[in-house]
Amino acid sequence: MQSLQPTSQRESIFNNEVISRFELYNSLFLTLPFYKVKDTGTLLPLFIKSCEDGVKNHETPAKLIEDFFKKYTPNTDTQDIIDLLFRFIQYIERQVVLFDAVEDASFNKLNIADEQSSLRALFLKANDDKTLHEKVDQLIEDFSLRLVLTAHPTQFYPGSVLAIINDLTAAIKINDITTINQLLQQLGKTPFFNKKAPTPVDEALSLSWYLENVFYFAAANIQSGLNQLLSEYHIDPKKIIELGFWPGGDRDGNPNVHAETTLQVSKMLRQILFRCYYRDFRNIKRRITFRGVEDAMGLLQDVLYKNAFDSNLEPEDISEFLIENLNKIQDTLLKEHDGLFVDLVSNLTRKVELYRSHFASLDIRQDSRILRDVHAYCRQQKPINSLFAENYAELSEEEKIKALSFRNAKIIYADEQDSLTQDTLQTIMQIKEMQQSNGEMACHRFIISNCQQASDILQLIELFLWNGWEADDLTIDFVPLFETVNDLAGADEIMETLYNHPFYKKHLASRGGKQDIMLGFSDSTKDGGYLMANWSIFKAKVELTAVAEKHNIKLAFFDGRGGPPSRGGGKTHRFYASMGKEIANKNIQLTIQGQTISSQYGSIDSAAFNIEQLINAGISSGVKERHNVLLDKENYDTLEIMASDSYDSFLALRKHPLFLSYLETMSPLSLLSKITISSRPVK
């Protein structure tokens, strides 16, 4: 007989803090005054047991359901059966919400930091080692973390439910049974889904809940703690955390995203941010009632209120103005009022330094094939048409690049534009407006998905120069996205061509010599299968790092990791901590989406913990005395063969003549287009 393993401390805490409390509060569902809720809660465990037994006996779903209702609810008509099955789903949805809230309430007890692997332990070690101290100092100077929030149907909680989870978590922390019961009643009456599909703006608004209620506090708290740590070890404070945002900017495969959508979302992010600033300022105003700060306080009151609530205000980047006046107040408090409440002011100052006037950078993304079509359209318009040969589209890649002139021009659009061309050109012009309103960081990256050649990026640069942008003031970072197995294999050659191109080299220099490259874990997995995709990404990263180092380029990989492990998810901080010196890792950038947001960044505590884990991973991997090295030839060749064999098998399945019809018949693919959880059409 196998001996029982001793229960770990974390498992014991989980059982006591989460499982036991969930079972206690779960019993409250049976007392809720809703239609047949007691019947639903009583029958659900029996239904689960019946399903488990039926699966073991290889019963069909239809027979399983039929046998259950015959045994427990005889003489039930078909409509009542359907109603009960739907009530099961509704009941389970609300149980999941309760479990999430209980888990969030217990987060700090479940995730006690390992002091030996913390940044503080690293700094303590560096304090006694001059060489290590200098290395850590340089790593901090170079390091940054960018978390990019993306919309995904697996994040299905609407804002109303997120607010309930937030309040429920707070009530569970203090065991407030009355409030918990009231919130469960509210939860029972709150719908989880909209009657119609959300628009891209709706998705942006839903995702912005996390910005306003979680990241605004969590990122600032981590930055504050880091600044304190750096000052203790005589290292200058450094802004490390950045936030990115895709809803409203990502139009690849989503025809519902338009230029007006992008502008709306940019304005919305700004207004939400200033609402946060104003709430913090009101707390400051309640405490700082002293003489000597009236002018600065009055100015801030007026400016913050207008930017938070006046939708007719002409926006501009006022972050420096806010910081200047907050610093005046801080100086007065220190000189004349013994520093009373100075921490409140410095806390808001830190947030303004972090989020400026934009909150999160809005990325623009479009498919390279669309951008090629837009370039072709512009080549037919005056005065551009005189610069290109009629057979430009048939030229080789090398000849195309030679034909590009990068001249500023004002195009006279004579021909009618299709919707995608119009959107692309309007968006290019609009980015300038967004930068003027909210600062350069509001929107400074254009991601070219399905990037297959250097001209995909160079032609996009020309589109900017033909639509209101100057070469010497092109405050845009062009980010190629390599996704397919073939594109990943040729990525290093594409970047070599770009780094050697005179115009692009000059542009990169104006952007601080930094190049972002995005790698798509999700789409590469769909293209090549799990092993081939991840092996191709690994090889591409090694090759791209070598090319960047050769040209003295600061390379940052932007990982579109998705949520589930099969799409590149999993233990994110371990992924980055394991990077060897052959892969650039000074800047961590990744997408977070769907269930990853709600599970890992759903509360201030969990978000702060996971942000700190990523920073720890990035810094610690840079100071490792023993770096992971490239695989030896034997292991490299073995992986190469395994990836190739798995790729062949994957393609055989994907190209099988019955594969698509099998998916349509045996999966819920046909039903997905009918559910109202996403603005993006089902492919």
Q: What average pLDDT does the segment 420-434 reach?
A: 96
Which residue intervals of 248-341 are DSSP H helices?
259-287, 294-309, 319-336
Distance CA 562, CA 577 (A): 18
φ, ψ for residue 110 (rounded to 5)? -80, -25
Predicted pLDDT of residue 563: 53
Predicted pLDDT of residue 34: 64
- The per-residue pLDDT for range 383-395, each reduced to its tens digit, is 998 889 999 999 9
Distance CA 513, CA 588 (A): 17
* DSSP label of 176: -
Predicted pLDDT of residue 234: 79
The two three-digit tokens of residue 251, written as one number: 């139009």
Q: Is the pLDDT of residue 362 over 60?
A: yes
Q: What is the pTM of this model?
A: 0.90
Q: Which residues touch 240 (CB under 8 Å, ≥6 apart)?
A: 140, 143, 144, 145, 223, 226, 615
- The per-residue pLDDT for range 326-335, each reduced to its tens digit, is 999 999 999 9
Q: In 584-596, which positions are buried (b, 16+ CB within 10 angstroms) versus exposed (e)?
A: bbbbbbbbbbbbb
Predicted pLDDT of residue 629: 59
Cis peptide before 668 (omega within 30 of 0): no
Provide the pLDDT confidence category of residue 578 given band limits of 50, 70 and 90. confident
Among the residue ranges 65-79, 206-220, 364-378, the one predicted with the least confidence is 65-79
Distance CA 222, CA 455 (A): 41
Phi-psi region for residue 341, left (φ > 0), alpha (ψ -120 to 50) or beta?
left
* DSSP label of 215: I
Provide the pLDDT confidence category of residue 1 given band limits of 50, 70 and 90. very low
The two three-digit tokens of residue 307, written as one number: 């930017």
Q: Kindly write down the DSSP assignment for every residue of 577-624, as one continuous string.
A: HT--TTS--SEEEEEEETHHHHHHSSSHHHHHHHHHHHHHHHHHHHH-
Q: Which residues touch 623 (CB under 8 Å, ≥6 apart)?
A: 122, 132, 135, 136, 139
User: Which of 161, 162, 186, 181 has its CA nearest to residue 171?
Assistant: 181
Q: In 80-102, which positions are buried (b, 16+ CB within 10 angstroms) versus exposed (e)?
A: eeeebeebbeebeebbebbbbbb
- The per-residue pLDDT for range 524-556, each reduced to its tens digit, is 888 888 899 989 999 999 999 999 999 999 999
The H or E element spanning position 575 is: helix 572-577
Longest dimension (CA), the chain: 85
Dihedral, 674, 676, 678, 683 alpha carbons, nearest 10: 0
